[in-house]
A and B are shown apart, each in its own frame.
Chain A
Amino acid sequence: MSKKSFIEANRISFSYPSYEGEIPSLVLDGIDVSIEEGEFVAVLGHNGSGKSTLAKHFNAILVPTEGSVSVSGISTAEEARLFEIRQEVGMVFQNPDNQIVATIIEEDVAFALENLGVPPAEIRERVDDALRKVDMYDYRLHAPNQLSGGQKQRIAIAGIVAMRPKCVVLDEPTAMLDPKGRREVMKTVKQLNKELGITVVIITHYMDEAAMCDRVVVVDDGKIIMDSTPEKVFGNVELIKERGLDVPQVTELCHELRKEGIDIPESVLTEEECVAVLENLLKGGAQNG
């Protein structure tokens, strides 16, 4: 690939400040990762694996204790250019309630732009634009507490999209949502990547969500243990399970069937693909019998 690396993490280690006498435990332990512009990356890992800590390094919320992170060539250690970095890489968090600042939806979406000192007429235009992109324009005058979790999370995404970032990092954006909300949010996230070309890094522990991405990075114990396409990562069912993670239901089913000697290709990831393959198999079986 000839694309230049957008986010580069160079051998980063990180430990939270500890009290005197306590040995600081490494949350990140020499991570090397680079993310290209336009990628759709999932970061997988179970609780305490360091995946959220890693995400916070991508927009200078945290600065590594060792190693360096650069965004568009700007080192995150450069405090003077902090806002440049945060404009390029926006972040959406888990709890939708705790990231909405204003009492009216459109004011909340405008928040980042107001902070950046954008002229009022342009704010108006970019806010409307962002709200349309997440399909929430009709709700612009509502109060946040009138919305569902999935809708609130889409507003949070709009608040970031209004900044026109190159990359959006989402830290378990669907963990607190019901299945409907999860579908809405994932659809929006997919749109950001596919239609607007925004680089997306999504931290998750839902395997089905990771299966939707172009690349899966598996983090365990502060280290990257796998970094490949979802097909390859989930193809390695034994290793994933060994690390205490699950594989998507579809992968699990195919894996079990394969163990029984049924011929299913490794590349099957989505429900639709799986249904098609199984249908074919069953039809073939009926003809044989």
Chain B
Amino acid sequence: MLKDITFGQYFPGDSIIHRLDPRMKLILIIVYIVLLFVADGLFSLLIGAAMGIAFYALSKLPWKLVIKCIKPIMPIIIFTAVLNIFFVEGDPIFEWKFISVSGKGVLTAVLMCIRIICLIAGSSLLTYTTTPIALTDGLERLMKPLQKIKVPVHELSMMMTIALRFIPTLIDETQKIMAAQKARGADMESGNIIEKAKALIPILIPLFVSAFRRADELALAMECRCYHGGEGRTRMKQLKLTAKDFGAAIFVAGGFAAVILMNMFGPEVFRL
């Protein structure tokens, strides 16, 4: 049961998207999100959607992954759509008793749906194609300037790395503890929600104790290997921006320009 939890949702592959520098990917995804919100009409937003589709095509991931990542937020999408359709005021195109639907409302709903879907699919693509460790690495390097204002960037990324490292270890341990408690007659399946939550206590406490013990030993082992924080530290793997990273940047910048041009000079229909 616990084995099914995958942290991060990395799908191994060797596509151009997989091989992009994680820093570049992080920056581009932020630019892409901004782009989605800058687009103010259906046509400019479709440019954004097309870019998203192009990214997925390049990543060579199965298309059903898009559906997989959108499924959990479907209720939110529907909720937003319904709210927008019925509550945005404008010239009514449909009236029945107290319900009125405006053209503007429908347009807002459609735009919002496309925006949310692109947003989620885009950021999921980042985690689909980047290992958690590369992501942490990229984040550390991108946030390095923040060190000047005393943000403990290295410490945060070290914590992330260690957390990622110990997730499988602790999952194994949880299973062992569960088995041990069951062997002692612990009942974890029956009862209402409160009883079930209570049944977790005999699992969580040993897990906590052991996690602290592990932390203590790990700290000792790290000290033996001369760990003394981020100061004066080098890295074996150097991230290097290559031609494909600049290519991706140009592609996104081009998309951004196209969206702005469409906003300014595009057809006046389907606009907010």
A86 to B, closest residue via Cβ: B226
Report yes or no: B225 in contact with A112, Cβ–Cβ below 8 A: yes
B228 touches A113 (CB 8 A): no
Which residues 91-132 of A sit at the B interface, judged by CB distance below 8 A? Answer: 91, 93, 95, 97-104, 106-107, 110-120, 123-124, 127
Min Cβ gap B14→A in Å is: 14
Task: Tell me the B17-73 residues at the A interface (CB within 8 Å).
Answer: none
Given contacts A90-B224, A100-B165, whether A123 and B218 have CB atoms under 8 Å apart is: no
Given A95-B217, A99-B218, A107-B133, output 13 extra A-B contacts at Cβ < 8 Å.
A83-B226, A86-B225, A93-B221, A98-B217, A101-B162, A101-B222, A112-B226, A115-B226, A117-B232, A119-B234, A120-B238, A123-B234, A145-B172
Q: What A residues does B165 contact at CB under 8 A?
A: 100-103, 144
B237 in contact with A107 (CB, 8 Å): yes
Interface centre among B161, B214, B235, B236 (most CB of A within 10 A): B236
Given A83-B226, A87-B226, A115-B226, does the pair A101, B236 have CB atoms closer than 8 Å?
no
A101 to B221 CA separation, bound complex (whole angstroms): 9
Cβ-based interface call for B220 (8 A): yes
In the bound assembly, the distance between CA atoms of A103 and B237 in angstroms comes to 14
Q: What is the 8 Å Cβ interface bit string for chain B, positions 224-264, against chain A (1 contact, 0 not)?
A: 11111000111111100000000000000000000000000
A103 touches B223 (CB 8 A): no
Q: State in angstroms the CA–CA spacing of A124 and B218 once bound together.
A: 24
Q: Is A160 an interface residue (CB 8 A)?
A: yes
A residues engaging B (CB < 8 A)? 59, 61, 83, 86-87, 90-91, 93, 95, 97-104, 106-107, 110-120, 123-124, 127, 143-145, 156, 159-160, 163
- Cβ contact of A106, chosen from B132, B169, B217, B236, cutoff 8 A: B236
Q: B164 interface residue, CB < 8 Å from A? A: yes
B contact face: mostly helix, strand, loop, or mixed: helix
11 examples of A-B residue contacts, CB within 8 angstroms: A86-B223, A86-B224, A100-B165, A101-B161, A103-B165, A107-B236, A107-B237, A120-B236, A120-B237, A123-B236, A160-B225
Least CB distance, B56 to chain A, in whole angstroms: 27
- Chain B residue with Cβ nearest A106: B236
Cβ of B168 < 8 Å from any Cβ of A?
yes
Is B233 a contact partner of A115 (Cβ separation < 8 A)?
A: yes
Known: A61-B220, A61-B224, A99-B217. A113 touches B236 (CB 8 A): yes
Which residues of B lie under 8 Å from residue A93 when comparing CB positions? 217, 220-221
User: Distance in Å from the Cβ of A166 to the closest Cβ of chain B?
Assistant: 15
A83 touches B228 (CB 8 A): yes
Q: Identify the closest chain A residue to B233 (Cβ).
A: A114
Docked pose: A110 CA to B172 CA in angstroms: 26
A104 cross-chain contacts in B, Cβ below 8 A: 133
CB distance from B61 to the nearest CB of A (A): 21
Q: Shortest Cβ distance from B215 into chain A, in angstroms?
A: 8
Chain A contacts for B168, CB-based, 8 A: 143, 145
The residue in chain B whose Cβ has the minimal distance to the Cβ of A94 is B217
- In the bound assembly, the distance between CA atoms of A107 and B226 in angstroms comes to 15
Q: Are B217 and A111 in contact (CB under 8 A)?
A: no
Q: Is the CB of B161 within 8 A of A102?
A: yes
